[in-house]
Every structure is written in structure tokens, then in C-alpha cells.
Structure 1
Amino acid sequence: MDHQRAGDMGQAWGRVTGWLEQHGPDVLAALGGPGSRTALYEAELRMGLRLPRQMRQWLLANDLDAGRQPHSGSGLVALGCPGVVPGGGLLLGLVDIERVYFHKTALEETAPSGDGDCPSWRRAWVPILSERDGAYGKFVDTSTGAVGSWSEGSFPEVSEYVSLSAFFQDVADQLEGAPWGDRSGPGGARRLAPRPEDEPVRLWARANGYLVNDRGRVPAAVREAYEASR
């Protein structure tokens, strides 16, 4: 099973880089060369966790931070690569992965979300994509290998995709012009289309200063505030 998953990861990421080679060579060049096993091991030690096999394979294929360090005074995401994921955000290399990881972990520990069953961040989550200020992004759950997302003001979506390879297959689908959505077969995404009945809630929430995701669950607190306003 591990070998099958590793092969899926190589095929998924190969679709992304193959498209970029033809249509976005500058973005492909920004992804950098192969990563370092030593750098991966040292990053794992600092974060106190073990990265999933697919994430290690991806970072060994391309670590865009390899040999680079952020400038003093740079933002939270200092070296991230834009232009890879059509939905937006910057793809992260090891340097930015650690910066965002420790930032999110410290925020949750100093100002807990107050919901023990649904915290805003867990130590097992490792970011792979982020806005420059860390307000929105995607992470890999190192305990399950699933890919989820966070957005300030909303509950995290803990399992949008069953694996990192499933996430990159969807990225490749969109780059190649195929619609995003549910995928069938082993390793497919579990990404749900927005429910039409949630759209008025999302529109009201954004108009009133709430941050909500385009997909997934509308936080209960937002829904209650919406109902109370009617």
C-alpha cells in the first residue's frame, strides 16, 4: 500500500510540473530543485513530528526553499511560490512550512479557540499552502495523511482530501481545464460542492465581517448570528 501511495504522489505531482513546464516555466523554475533528506529530518526534529510519506516524497522532488533564507523583516510566508494552485495561496517549502507551523501552533496555545473538540490548530497539522499573512491555507494531517484547510474566523475543514496526492490530482485537473469536485476511485478527493442553501448565509457573513470558506461547513456561530439577524 505504501508503494502504491508513493506512486500516486509521483504521478499527481508529475502532472502539475508537466503542465507548468509547458505553460508556466517561470513558476516551475521557482519551485527549485530536489530537497534534502537531511533538511527534512532536521525540520521534523524541530517540529517534533514525522512527515507522512507522500509529503516527504513531494518535498524531496521540489523544495523551493532549498538553500534560501528569508530576508530580515519579511512576512510570515517569506519564500512561498504563487501561481501553482489555481485557487490562490502560496505553495510552501520547508522554511515557510516551519514558520507557519510554529506561528499557528503558538496562536492556538496562547489564545485557544475554546472548543476542545474543534481547535483552530493542532500540532499534527503541517501547512503546505498559505496566504502571505497566514490567514488562510491548507495543511496535511500527519496522523492521517489527509489534507484540510484553515481560514481565520471559521472552523478548520479537517479532511477536504484523503491524501496529498488527491489534492495535487485536483490541482492538475484544474490546471488542465477539468472541473473541480468529487473524484471517484481510490484516493479521490472528498471535496464537497457548496450547498445552495448555504450561499445566503455566506453572503450575509462576509457583508458583516465574518470570514467563511467558499466550501464546507458554515460555522455554527455564524449560522446562529445569521438566523438571529432575520
Structure 2
Amino acid sequence: MSGSPTHGTGDVREAWGRVTAWLERNDPETLAALGGPGNHAAIREAELRMGLDLPGELRQWLLVNDIDAGRRPDGQACLVALGCEMDIPGGHLLLGLTDIQRVYLSRLGLEEAEPSADPAHPFWRREWVPIAAERDGLYGTFLDTRNGTIGFWDEASGPEEGVYASLFAFFQETADRLEGVSSGDWRGPGRPAEPREPAPRPEDEPIRLWARANGYPVNDRGRIPAHIREAYEMSQR
């Protein structure tokens, strides 16, 4: 991260209120998909399951709208089972409490099972809480519980930390996008206006082609599992 964010802080309920007010006027179906209010007991259960305390901003947001409140994914659901599609920075599906837990535990489990090559720059940290993600969880948006900043992760090229100064800043820019205005620079210091869209690493493409030809399931992007990489290397000897 290029520096500690010093701007873009405020009451997340105010920023989120701008988002929901716009949706009420222009997109009531998406507003309905955001679900009803969350509750303290469910948030505490999620904290215990994940083994961390959620920051106040995230708690405030989830108490206003928990996308997953009263809903449960079916047994065949993708990793992100209940996310809400809307225009947020970076794209992805906005997550409710159930999907936050599912994605968090999946990302943490993957990092623990196959640790990143550089411990100083892991693909996932225990302190990161996902707030948006694609269905497969390979890329998305996280809140860093250490400092409240918002970043993006992508399996193909690793995470980008401190893109937004806070959850308040992230939702302020979401509201700006919806309203078609710019009410301020809500990004972290020295950050570009839009997050980059990293592409899969070219050097991994031969491995993916070999894996598919030999019956190994592999995604189009993201980290290639260690056992597939090892099998490919053995085949090249």
C-alpha cells in the first residue's frame, strides 16, 4: 500500500443511504434484492465462525441491509450463492453475511493449504473480509480489518490493497456512479480512478491446456492447484 489513507471517512449509513435512495427511485428490483436488516446475533455468530471481529463500518452496513437475511443457499450453489448484482466499483456481486463467511473461509483455507510463495505478499490475509466477489470467489473486493481500507483480490495477479480509504468511501463512489455525478475523490492516496483488470498469466496457459487435455479440472483464471502444476512439470521431463 502506498500510504495510510487519510481521507474518505464518514458514517457508512449516510453513504449507503445515497445508494438505496437512488435504487428506490430507479431500480426497485435491485433494492428488494438487498434484503432486510441484519441482526447483532447473526453478526456475532459469523465473527465466531471466521475468528475475527468485524469493523464498526461493516457492522453498521450489515445491520441496515443483510442481503442474505432469511435466505439459505441450496446444496448445489456456487461459492457466492446469494450475492446481489449492482453497479459497484470493481464489479462483482455484493455479498451478505452468509456469502461473506463462505468466501472468507474458502479464501483462508486455500491460502493455508497452498501458502503464497512470498509470505510478505500472500494471496489472502486472515484480516481481510470479502464484501463483493464473483460466483467462483476467484476475484472480488475485501475490507482490511487492520485499517478499514478497501482492496481488490485477483487469483491471476494477486491483491491490490488500499484502493479505497474506507467502506464509507467505497459506497460514496458507488452512489456517485449510480447518480452519474462526482462528489469527491474517495480513493486512497495515489490510487487510479478505476481498479485495474488483471489478465491471467500467459505462462500458465500451457499448463491449463495440458490439464484440460488430461482430465484435470482447472479454471480459466486464478491459481493453478499445486498438484496440477506438479503433474504438468513431471510430464515435461
Same fold (TM > 0.5): yes
The alpha-carbon distance between structure 1 residues 211 and 71, as it changes in their structure 2 partners (threshold 3 A), is closer
Query: In structure 2, what is the equivalent of residue 151 of structure 1?
Result: 154
Identity level (%): 54
Query: In structure 2, what is the equivalent of residue 192 of structure 1?
Result: 192
Structure 2's unaligned 5+ residue stretches are 1-7, 206-219, 223-237
Matched, 1:161 2:164: yes
Query: In structure 2, what is the equivalent of residue 55 of structure 1?
Result: 58
CA contact (8 A) 1:27 1:81 kept: yes
CA contact (8 A) 2:152 2:161 kept: yes
Residue identity matched to 1:54: E
Q: Secondary structure at the match of 1:160?
A: strand
Residue identity matched to 2:71: R
Query: In structure 1, what is the equivalent of residue 112 of structure 2?
Result: 109
The alpha-carbon distance between structure 1 residues 87 and 124, as it changes in their structure 2 partners (threshold 3 A), is closer
Q: 2:135 aligns with which of 132, 136, 139?
A: 132
Counting matched residue pairs gives 199
Query: In structure 1, what is the equivalent of residue 70 of structure 2?
Result: 67
Q: Secondary structure at the match of 2:11?
A: helix
Residues of 2 paired with 1:67 and 1:122: CA distance? 29
Query: In structure 2, what is the equivalent of residue 226 of structure 1?
Result: none
The worse-fitting range, judged by mean Cα deviation, of 85-94 and 38-47 is 85-94
TM-superposed deviation, 1:112: 1.1
The worse-fitting range, judged by mean Cα deviation, of 170-179 and 68-77 is 170-179
Residues of 2 paired with 1:71 and 1:92: CA distance? 16
TM-superposed deviation, 1:123: 0.5
| Structure of larger gyration radius | 2
TM-superposed deviation, 1:16: 0.6
CA contact (8 A) 1:141 1:148 kept: yes
Residues of 1 paired with 2:33 and 2:58: CA distance? 19
CA RMSD in angstroms comes to: 2.8
Residues of 2 paired with 1:63 and 1:132: CA distance? 18
CA contact (8 A) 1:27 1:84 kept: no
The alpha-carbon distance between structure 1 residues 194 and 63, as it changes in their structure 2 partners (threshold 3 A), is closer
Residues of 2 paired with 1:159 and 1:203: CA distance? 20
Residues of 2 paired with 1:159 and 1:204: CA distance? 22
Q: 1:123 aligns with which of 121, 126, 137?
A: 126
Query: Could you tell me the TM-score, scaled by structure 1's length?
Result: 0.78
The alpha-carbon distance between structure 1 residues 26 and 86, as it changes in their structure 2 partners (threshold 3 A), is farther
Residue identity matched to 1:17: T
Structure 1's unaligned 5+ residue stretches are 213-230
CA contact (8 A) 1:147 1:158 kept: yes
TM-superposed deviation, 1:193: 3.9
Matched, 1:25 2:67: no
CA contact (8 A) 2:89 2:170 kept: no
Residues of 2 paired with 1:72 and 1:150: CA distance? 26
Q: Secondary structure at the match of 1:27?
A: helix
Residue identity matched to 1:92: L
CA contact (8 A) 2:89 2:173 kept: no
Query: Could you tell me the TM-score, scaled by structure 2's length?
Result: 0.76
Residues of 1 paired with 2:142 and 2:122: CA distance? 14
Query: In structure 2, what is the equivalent of residue 217 of structure 1?
Result: none
Q: Secondary structure at the match of 1:74?
A: coil
Matched, 1:41 2:39: no
Q: Secondary structure at the match of 2:129?
A: strand
Query: In structure 1, what is the equivalent of residue 4 of structure 2?
Result: none
TM-superposed deviation, 1:8: 2.2
